[in-house]
Structure 1
Amino acid sequence: MEGTYHPDLEDRMLAETICSAVSAAGLGIAAITAYRKRFLAAARIAAYSLVPIGLVMTGAVEWLVDTAFSPVAWAGFGVLGAAWLLFMSTRAVERRRGGRKETTGGTEPSAVAPAASSPSRAVTAKPRTGAPAGEDFSDIEAILKKHGI
């Protein structure tokens, strides 16, 4: 049984070796940084350097390696991605509609004043008498003058 190939075991050992080497290299860089009297930066580098070895010790690397080579796990990531896309697309549609909710055929209670317009759609300026409705730009001109445009 010594000569048999165990891909899971070898993949885990490779990942653990890489994490250990990254941690050792990072701690070496932290020591050099501390030698140069940059203690705050050295402490930060040491903290980052301890993360990979901590992940190995907790078993997270083993879990990640098992997940990386599992087709079921990748299918699960695909399902999570599809769910995320659905959430984002519904939010985009909601924003485009301006926050209005779609009607569901009268199952929801009606508004108190269904014929009332929302404040953002209310017409605040009345057109001058004798002028066509689309040509009253006095309030727009006042705003532009106020801002110096």
Structure 2
Amino acid sequence: MLAETVCSAVSAAGLGIAAITAYRKRFLTATRIAAYSLIPLGLVMTGVVQWVSDLVFKPSTWVGFGVLGLAWVLFMTTRAIERRAGGTRKERKQAAAAAQQEAVAPRASAPSLGAGQSAPPAVQQKQKKSAAPTEDFSDIEAILKKHGI
């Protein structure tokens, strides 16, 4: 009841200021002031002021906000603990299972080649490809000789 009275008084005062401004021949400003002063009256008439005052002045509403805040703090705490521990229990189990299935270094378990054995064909092809492009350093040598190096 008090909030509605205050909003009505603010609207009436705003309309009075708008009337004085219009008397001074500043019609655009007076219209703008009148528009702003009608907003509290419209909020009272639609019931928004009653809803807000019930929301603000009810203790159960504030207790509800406290419970929501507590729930948020609990969620954030569990998230921080999960991040520090390395994920959820399900993710840790999956990671452990994957670690058991894969070897740390799969090529380390392959037998090494002896001195008399030749490399597998795939390795030989890679070696041939890397040795194939012979580079011509004659241009570089000419530049170095030109500079006396």
TM-score range, shorter chain: 0.3 to 0.5
Q: For the pair shown, which has the larger CA radius of gyration, 1 or 2?
A: 2
TM-score (norm 2): 0.44
TM-score (norm 1): 0.44
Structure with the largest fraction of helix? 2
